[in-house]
Structure 1
Amino acid sequence: MEQTTREKILSSGKKMFLEMGFQSAPLRKIVAQAGFTQGAFYGYFKTKEDLFYALTDEFVEKTFILLDMVQEEMEALPAERRLFEMSGCYLRHLPEIVAHFSTYQAEFKLVVRCGEGTKYAGLLDTLAQRNISQLKESLQAFYQLSEAEEKLLTILMKGYFSMLAQIILEQGEEEMLQMMIGVHMVFEQGIVKLFQLSAKGK
């Protein structure tokens, strides 16, 4: 089926944003590559930002719906068991999470690597901070984290999310699932063990 004018502009915008990033991609070039004038563009989008969000809003919205569902399931666990059972909850949902990011792999790249200058700049840090807050709350059911331990947890989890982002950007769905399981097990066991030892030392 022949693409509509809007679809052609979206396709051109996606290509240019992926190649150059949002800030560096000239609107005139996006429109020209689609085969239209800027007047035609403004019949569908008000700004370059509107075009970017038309490409990414659905992905971001569905990402938060999915992750909120997993987080709510974890928070429903009894506080005294949450630290040790939240991993199983995450792993049960991981195939669904991986399928989501595999489907929206290009949109993930748009947001994470090409979204500077948009409302989604820093999205990866936002996702990491959500995870940090939940893990910190689960750890504090057993003992109070020191300021240094909170900083260490933040560093570790930001590194964890950076690794996940690299996997999502570079791997196919099957490899993505295997690698995300492996990275999760290493970090989860390592972090829990580290803070268990810290608790015993207090």
Structure 2
Amino acid sequence: MNTGTYAQTHETILKNGKELFLKEGFERANLREICRLSGVTTGGFYRHFKDKADLFSALVEPAIQGLQAQYSASEKLCFTVLENSGIDKIWKVSAEALEDFVSYIFDHLEAFKLILCCASGTKYAEFTDWMVEREIKDMYKTCELLGKKGITVRRLPPKELHMLTHAYFSCIFETVLHNFKKKDALNSMKTLADFFSAGWRTVFGLGDGKNKSLRGILV
């Protein structure tokens, strides 16, 4: 049995829970096995976490909160640039934001492997859709700001916009699903940005993007 302090036992449960979730996924991971590996009874486990889902949340929530905070900072910067500078500058800011986004994910890789590969049966299985919905709201705001600058943007049907934005985030997260090295993931974002930038210019009716261009994605 585990004879450590409360804090030590807590960390042991987190460690063994993470390892088992990564190996088996949330749904197949057995709470009794987590307890056995951690040297605690199920009663002892419940003094630390309400249930298996609570343990999973403890493992991934800090990384998600950090990513959302970084996203919010990039979001604010992009809108400030869009309001106060020429359209062309948003390209550089967006590229840097995307690199920071992916870099953060790879700096917290195990947490995002849990979220993207092992979260079936938890609320975090909807993580990609959470990001998509937030991004779509930002895209609508971007279109409004462009309209104030006299730049007409063709409105896409909501389902089409969701589909395209989901494809974008899916491409980003493929780097985690397919075990990219961080350096390779960051390099692939350059190709991804070029590919989607050209597509957004076309579907939004923004021409060749030399003067009135829009990346369409804030990360």
Partner of 1:191: 200
Match in the other structure for 2:167: 159
How far residue 129 of structure 1 moved from its aligned partner, in angstroms, is 1.9
Q: Which residue of 2 aligns with 1:135?
A: 139
Q: Cα distance, 1:197 vs. partner?
A: 5.9
- Conserved? CA contact 1:8–1:34, under 8 Å: yes
User: Which residue of structure 2 lines up, in the alignment, with residue 70 of structure 1?
Assistant: 74
Partner Cα separation in structure 2 for residue 136 and residue 37 of structure 1: 51
Residues in 2 aligned to 1:154 and 1:168: alpha-carbon distance in whole angstroms? 21
Instruction: Please list every run of 5 or more consecutive structure 1 residues that lacks an aligned counterpart in the other structure.
Output: none
Q: Deviations over 1:146-178 (max 9, x none)?
A: 454x43332111111111101133211111110
> What is the CA distance between 1:144 and its match in structure 2?
5.7
Counterparts of 1:17 and 1:145 in 2: how far apart (Å)?
44
The structural deviation recorded for 1:37 is 2.0
Determine the structure 2 residue equivalent to 1:181: 190
How many percent identity over aligned positions? 28
Greater relative CO, 1 or 2 (CA 8 Å, sep 6+)? 2
CA contact (8 A) 1:82 1:138 kept: no
Deviating more after overlay: 61-70 vs 105-114: 105-114
* Alignment check: 8 A CA contact 2:25 2:117 kept: yes
Two-structure CA RMSD over aligned residues (Å): 2.6
Choose 62-71 or 166-175, whichever is displaced more: 166-175
Shift of residue 86 of structure 1? 3.1
Q: TM-score normalised to the size of structure 2?
A: 0.78
Does the 8 Å contact 1:83/1:135 carry over to 2?
A: no
**TM-score, normalisation: structure 1:** 0.83
Provide the rounded CA distance (Å) in 2 between the counterparts of 1:118 and 1:87.
36
Q: Given that residues 83 and 139 in structure 1 are in contact (C-alpha distance below 8 angstroms), is that contact kept between their aligned partners in structure 2?
A: no
Count, aligned residues: 196
Alpha-carbon separation, structure 1, partners of 2:160 and 2:184: 29
Q: What SS class does the counterpart of residue 205 from structure 2 fall into?
A: helix
- Structure whose residues are more often helix by fraction: 1
Q: Distance in 2 between matches of 1:17 and 1:49?
A: 11
Flag the 1:39–1:23 CA change in 2: closer, same or farther, 3 A: same
